[in-house]
């Protein structure tokens, strides 16, 4: 009878431990999923920034700014002089 | 004490009837519960399990990124960016006053469209796909029940219209439809994966179920294109076409030593980011797909063939007469009478009669074979979709007039890319190089088509074209020696009218040049279709484009200046760097 009670108590304890472990697994898995999503978001952001960098550093944009804001123009043939 | 207990016992003691009645009620309830449990677990088990799975299990697609397209300096030409798709659950939608108008405005749709979508019987519909994230967040800020957003991806092209013809574009489904996007679609597109997940009542992902397929991202493609030069070439081409009121123009710049394509531009162009505004005639990469009669730009090849065969040397005198020469029924003309001139002067003055008379000294088969060796009528090796081989009929079908006209670039047609490739033997001591657009494509060893002596002689002769007295002085570059050949070819309209009447003819103005002539690093071929304002000569129209683009290329690639003969104040010649 005593042994049965001990075994029954153990059974209850192990069952609770299993439930807790499963719960912890789910909590951690959820946290992992959030981190994975963050990774994807960061990858997307990196892509976005690369595209932005490429657009902003485009030769067309730079030459437009150089012409309009800095009043820079490529010299024509008459203005060029070869340095001997 | 006992009496008290007895009293309590008496208080709880039920009558027989009550006891039986209670038992019956409990039994009945138990039977109901049992039968319900039997019904649910026995008879509706599969259905309920299915329902349960549907509520807790989800299939989630794992997005595989499409590869990026880079230029030779790792600058992005095409990449996928995050956008949002606006979705609607018609049953849940409740608009507050004014919300419908705001939503329609943000989505740039009519109210009618929204009303039609609201009547849909489906649970989940897309209102608009690939919406800018900023607009999507404005839509979410309206907090309309049943309206939500989903993450999506859109292909974007930072270079816009400049590299549009090379890079091409992809469709809504992400598959390439034109250009490199089409050619390398299998390489660029990855394989989407998916996983089955378990979610809890709070819709949190709590477990991965067994079925998981890992996404495989697409691979990146590296091109030989140089974005900096691409921009310069595009701007130069655009300016020329607008100034000369031409129909269109195409240009290609290659590295003469490796055959790598550095720029490939067409104008008019299109913006691949705005698919709705694309006009189909301007979508194809005309550098590669459109063949035209190259005109005088073929002359260096004809003369090279003659020098190689030793039927003439550079000093051989050719009588071009009074500028008219009849071959069969065809009359060959020069722009002005040149009289008796040397082979070098034939090239410098671009005499049709001179080159036709030189061609007559060679057999049709030999001339045809030489053109073929120079890549006329063959693919360039650029591995670009829709490439045209051009047209070069078999020499057996050539009549006498074809024999003559082929020598100055009629009766055969080539693409601009073929023309650029055909000049590589002059830059590589007689070896022709295949063109290369993809960095990962293997480099093929050049094939010898000319002797070193002949290639150097023709290169030297072509230098005179950009010097005083030549037809393309506009193509010269300060500090460098430039070799090249102009072409001003009539456009063949159709079989009935041929090239059209005098005064109504249309021309293609072309120029193919090499720089620096001392050891050519760059070859550029340009053609402008029907320049109608000002001059229509290849040297005048296309020459400045060459000068503008190649001078920048020489600076960017730090090519040392040539030794140039400069006359001092007294008139003595001296060599300067």
CA distance A22 to A12: 15
Predicted pLDDT at B489: 83
Provide the residue count of chain B.
577
CA distance B378 to B417: 11
CATH 3.40.50.20 is held by the domain B227-576: no
Neighbours of B51 (CB within 10 A): 11
Beta-carbon contacts of residue B268 (< 8 Å; ≥ 6 apart): B241, B248, B279, B282
Lookup: tokens for A72: 């820079």
Secondary structure in 3-state letters for B154-198: EEECCCCCCCHHHHCCECCCCCECCHHHHHCHHHHCCECEEEEEE
Q: In a 10 Å sphere around its CB, with 0-12 CB exposed, 13-18 middle and 19+ buried, how is residue B565 labelled?
A: exposed
- Chain A residues close to B82, C-beta within 8 Å: 44, 47-48
Mutation site for A-interface testing, chosen from B82, B540, B552 by largest number of A Cβ within 10 Å: B82
Q: CA dist B382 to A78, B73, B97, B249, Å?
A: 38, 19, 59, 20
For the four alpha carbons of A34, A39, A43 and A46, in that order, the dihedral sign comes to positive
Residue range A56-81: average pLDDT?
83
- Chain A residues close to B159, C-beta within 8 Å: 54, 58
Lookup: tokens for B43: 């008879």
Q: Which of A30, A55, A63 sits opposite B158 (nearest CB)?
A: A55
Of the candidates B244, B296, B405, B411, the residue annotated as catalytic is B296
H/E element, B199: strand B193-199
Neighbours of B228 (CB within 10 A): 19
H/E element, B88: strand B76-88
CB contact under 8 A, A48 and B159: no
- Comparing CA positions, the residue from B231, B269, B276, B225 lying closest to residue B250 is B269
Q: CA dist B67 to A39, B222, B335, B512, Å?
A: 18, 10, 53, 35
Of the pLDDT bands very low, low, confident and very high (cuts 50, 70, 90), residue A57 is confident
Of the pLDDT bands very low, low, confident and very high (cuts 50, 70, 90), residue A4 is very high
Mutation site for B-interface testing, chosen from A56, A60, A66, A78 by largest number of B Cβ within 10 Å: A60
CA distance B476 to B413: 27
Mean pLDDT of chain A: 88
User: What residue ranges do the domains of chain B occupy?
Assistant: 60-91+98-113+124-222, 227-576
CB contact under 8 A, B566 and A58: no
CB contact under 8 A, B207 and A44: no
**C-beta separation of B248 from B286 below 8 A:** yes
Burial code of B427-445, b = ≥16 C-beta within 10 A, e = fewer? bbbbbbbbbbbbeeeeeee
Tens place of pLDDT per residue across chain B (577 aa): 455 555 555 556 667 888 899 999 999 999 999 999 999 988 888 998 888 887 888 888 888 889 999 999 999 999 988 888 898 888 888 888 888 888 888 888 888 888 888 888 887 888 888 888 889 889 988 888 888 888 888 889 988 889 999 999 988 778 888 899 999 999 999 888 888 888 888 878 888 887 778 889 999 999 999 999 999 999 999 999 999 999 999 999 999 999 999 999 999 998 888 876 666 678 889 999 999 899 999 999 999 999 998 989 888 898 888 888 888 878 888 888 888 999 988 888 889 999 999 998 999 899 999 999 999 998 998 889 889 998 888 888 888 888 888 888 888 899 999 999 999 999 999 999 999 999 988 888 888 999 999 999 999 999 988 888 788 888 989 889 999 999 888 877 776 766 666 667 788 899 999 989 999 999 999 999 988 887 878 888 999 999 999 999 999 999 998 865 555 555 555 544 4
**C-beta separation of B355 from B301 below 8 A:** no
CB contact under 8 A, B206 and A29: yes
Neighbours of B311 (CB within 10 A): 15
Cα atoms found within 13 Å of the Cα of residue B384, Cβ hemisphere only = 31
Residues 22-51 of A with CB under 8 A from B: 25-26, 29-30, 33, 40, 43-44, 47-48, 50-51
Predicted pLDDT at B206: 84
Predicted pLDDT at B99: 86
Lookup: tokens for B282: 């301007």
Angle at which helix A59-68 crosses helix B227-244, to 10 degrees, equals: 60
Secondary structure in 3-state letters for B436-464: ECECCCCCCCCEECCCHHHHHHHHHHHHH
Would you tell me which CATH number, out of the four given (3.90.1310.10, 3.40.50.1970, 3.30.565.10, 3.40.630.10), belongs to the domain B60-91+98-113+124-222?
3.90.1310.10
Q: Which residue of A has its CA nearest to B551?
A: A77
**C-beta separation of B251 from B525 below 8 A:** yes
Total CB pairs under 8 A between chain A and B: 63
User: What residue ranges do the domains of chain A occupy?
Assistant: 25-67
Q: What is the pTM of this model?
A: 0.82
Mutation site for B-interface testing, chosen from A41, A77, A78 by largest number of B Cβ within 10 Å: A77
Q: CA dist A31 to A37, B61, B239, B408, B519, Å?
A: 10, 19, 57, 74, 63
CB contact under 8 A, B76 and A29: no
CA distance B445 to B425: 12
Active-site residue flag, B551 = no
């Amino acid at each position: 009878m005593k042994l049965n009670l001990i075994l029954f108590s153990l059974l209850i304890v192990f069952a609770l431990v299993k439930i807790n472990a499963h719960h912890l697994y789910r909590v951690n898995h959820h946290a992992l999923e959030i981190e994975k999503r963050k990774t994807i978001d960061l990858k997307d952001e990196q892509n976005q920034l690369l595209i932005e960098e490429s657009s902003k550093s485009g030769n067309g944009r730079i030459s437009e700014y150089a012409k309009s804001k800095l009043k820079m123009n490529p010299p024509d043939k008459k203005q060029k002089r070869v340095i001997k | 004490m006992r009496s008290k207990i007895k009293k309590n016992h008496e208080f709880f003691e039920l009558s027989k009837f009550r006891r039986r009645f209670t038992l019956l009620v409990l039994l009945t309830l138990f039977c109901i519960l049992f039968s319900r449990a039997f019904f649910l677990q026995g008879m509706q088990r599969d259905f309920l399990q299915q329902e349960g799975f549907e509520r807790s299990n989800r299939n989630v697609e794992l997005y595989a990124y499409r590869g990026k397209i880079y230029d030779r300096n790792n600058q992005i030409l095409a990449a996928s960016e995050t956008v949002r798709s606006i979705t609607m659950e018609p049953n849940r939608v409740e608009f507050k006053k004014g919300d419908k108008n705001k939503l329609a405005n943000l989505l740039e749709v009519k109210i009618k469209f929204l009303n039609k979508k609201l009547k849909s019987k489906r649970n989940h519909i897309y209102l608009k796909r690939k919406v800018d994230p900023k607009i999507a967040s404005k839509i979410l800020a309206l907090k309309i029940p049943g309206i939500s957003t989903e993450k999506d991806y859109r292909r974007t092209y930072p270079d816009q219209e400049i590299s549009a013809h090379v890079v091409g574009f992809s469709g809504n489904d992400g598959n390439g439809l034109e250009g490199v996007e089409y050619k390398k679609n299998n390489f660029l597109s990855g394989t989407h994966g998916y996983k089955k997940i378990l979610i809890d009542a709070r819709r949190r992902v709590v477990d991965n179920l067994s079925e998981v397929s890992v996404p495989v991202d697409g691979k990146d493609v590296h091109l030989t294109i140089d974005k900096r030069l691409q921009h310069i070439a595009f701007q130069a081409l655009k300016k020329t076409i607008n100034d000369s009121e031409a129909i269109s123009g195409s240009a290609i710049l290659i590295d003469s030593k490796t055959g790598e394509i550095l720029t490939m531009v067409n104008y008019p162009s299109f913006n691949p980011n705005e698919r709705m505004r694309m006009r189909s005639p301007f979508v194809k990469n005309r550098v590669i797909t459109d063949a035209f009669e190259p005109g005088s730009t073929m002359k260096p090849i004809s003369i090279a063939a003659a020098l190689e065969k030793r039927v003439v040397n550079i000093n051989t005198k050719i009588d071009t007469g009074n500028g008219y020469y009849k071959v069969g029924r065809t009359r060959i003309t020069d722009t002005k009478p040149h009289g008796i001139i040397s082979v070098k002067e034939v090239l410098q003055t671009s005499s049709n009669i001179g080159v036709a008379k030189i061609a007559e000294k060679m057999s049709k088969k030999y001339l045809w074979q030489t053109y073929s060796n120079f890549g006329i009528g063959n693919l360039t090796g650029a591995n670009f979709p829709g490439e045209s081989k051009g047209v070069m009929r078999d020499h057996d079908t050539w009549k006498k007039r074809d024999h003559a006209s082929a020598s100055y670039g009629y009766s055969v047609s080539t693409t601009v890319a073929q023309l650029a490739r055909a000049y590589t033997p002059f830059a590589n001591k007689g070896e022709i190089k295949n063109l290369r657009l993809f960095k990962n494509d293997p480099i093929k060893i050049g094939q010898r088509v000319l002797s070193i002596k002949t290639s150097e002689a023709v290169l030297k002769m072509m230098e005179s074209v950009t010097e005083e007295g030549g037809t393309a002085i506009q193509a010269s570059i300060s500090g460098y020696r430039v070799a090249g050949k102009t072409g001003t070819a009539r456009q063949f309209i159709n079989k009935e009218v041929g090239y059209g009447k005098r005064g109504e003819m249309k021309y293609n103005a072309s120029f193919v040049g090499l720089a620096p002539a001392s050891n050519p690093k760059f070859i550029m071929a340009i053609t402008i279709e029907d320049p109608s304002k000002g001059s229509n000569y290849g040297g005048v129209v296309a020459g400045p484009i060459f000068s503008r683009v190649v001078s920048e290329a020489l600076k960017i690639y730090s090519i040392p200046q040539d030794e140039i003969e400069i006359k001092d104040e007294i008139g003595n010649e001296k060599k300067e760097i």
